[in-house]
Amino acid sequence: MNQQSEQALMSSWQERQEYAERMLPLLGNLYRNKAVEISIYGRPMLGASTIDIIKAHRTVRLKEGTKLRLRESWPILEELSKLPLAPAQIDLGKLAYAFHFKDEHKGKGIEEYLREELADILDVDDNHPAQDVVLYGFGRIGRLLARLLIERQGKTNKLRLRAIVVRGGKEGDLEKRASLLRRDSVHGPFNGSITVDTERNAIKANGSYIQVIYANSPNEVDYSQYGIENAIVVDNTGMWRDEAGLGQHLNAKGVKKVLLTAPGKGAIKNIVYGVNQNDIKPQDTILSAASCTTNAITPVLKALDEQYGINGGHVETVHSFTNDQNLIDNFHKADRRGRSAALNMVITETGAASAVAKAYPQLEGKLTGSSIRVPTPNVSLAILNLHLAQTTDKAQINAFLRDISLFSTLQHQVDYTSSKEIVSTDLVGSRAASVVDSQATIVAGDRATLYVWYDNEFGYSCQVLRVVQDMAGLHYPSLPAVK
């Protein structure tokens, strides 16, 4: 490369950096002041760095075949920041691409175009009251939910993390809890500041004041004494999975509703957001967010069933080990799970395949399932071996799932990758419930095998948070709307 070409390359990079740096304050202000979350072709920009913004723009070429430059999306974002917007999720990349490259928008000014595309959220008053949230249990999912709730802090935030409830209370416990929130071996350091108020048993994080309550059962807690009213309690312990057990939370003063972060038993509705969230009714007081695997596979299975029909199939999950297993060989009530999680692949059972029918009844009795626990700390893989109702091929099924990930009501649940080099650690922190690995897809007539990655911790926690929002009556539209 000659000197002139090198200078042009550097100049291009500096231009992108400068536009990304100009975008950062607008992205922050849109969320903090208007509760508008910006993404670029599905990549969330909440808390993004300049490099995150540049990389997100590069993915547009992979999705559309045409480059979207930051200087093309910048004026769209600048105009967005001026409009009187109600809370929403807005894909800046899709708006900018359509404005610059789709014929139906040629000749329009930016403001005219945006007012047409965003008409549903213009000049709309947001009078919804803030919702108190309590995390009962502070393990892997509890701490990730805390991160997700805290990162949304701002004057327009409608979900307020008010307390966590844990067992213990011994000397040094509060500092240990704060430290586990501050540092995570899988998900990295907390993005912000955390301090401990030992006098009042509280954690302060990015402006959030989080009361730490010590209790051995829900019956021991009176939330009202902490100013917490009509709270949604998210039970992360898994200790109670039926109405009788979870109903104990409803007996505590200050509690309105309960959400379980595990499969519910009996008549409890198991919600997979994106699939059956319409089953959530205002009068529901106890709900389940199902399991991480059920959340990963059900959206993909629903999409495939509606397009091709599924006559039957088998789901095999290759699942990272969990705290339920032993670090070294020791007693465990379940078969094989007593063997060292760090040293062995462990064949076990999963109820995820049968649980799909609780969220999507059309597949009841059509799927079997099993699981292999493997020595990785996070990110799992579901292998869907399906007998379809019609024949297809790899290109068609991949193109269909790519479009589902970008332009459907499942765009927040299903992600898609065409990388030939992707491995499990690359998916740590994925906010989608699942990521379709298109390069691994196998199709032979009416037989299809799909490989679906999922961050069984963070991706699942994002799904849980979506259910919490719905339970709170917070329904934020995703724009531009799916047509």
* CA R_g for the chain: 23
CB 343, CB 337: distance < 8 Å: no
CB 352, CB 367: distance < 8 Å: no
CB 128, CB 470: distance < 8 Å: no
C-alpha distances in Å from residue 168, one per residue of 13, 142, 440: 52, 16, 46
How far is residue 125 CA from its own chain's centroid?
27
Dihedral of the alpha carbons of 152, 153, 158, 159, in degrees to the nearest 10: 70
d(CA 35, CA 40): 17
Beta partners for 386? 313, 448
Give the contacts of 328 (CB within 8 A, at least 6 positions apart).
340, 342, 343
Catalytic amino acids?
292
**Which CB contacts under 8 angstroms, 24+ apart, belong to 404-407?**
404/303, 405/42, 405/432, 405/436, 406/41, 406/42, 406/63, 407/482
- Which amino acid belongs to residue 411? Q
Q: Which two tokens stand for residue 295?
A: 């959340």
CB 433, CB 274: distance < 8 Å: yes
d(CA 171, CA 9): 58
Determine whether 359 is exposed, middle or buried from the number of CB atoms within 10 Å of its CB (0-12, 13-18, 19+).
buried
d(CA 65, CA 223): 54
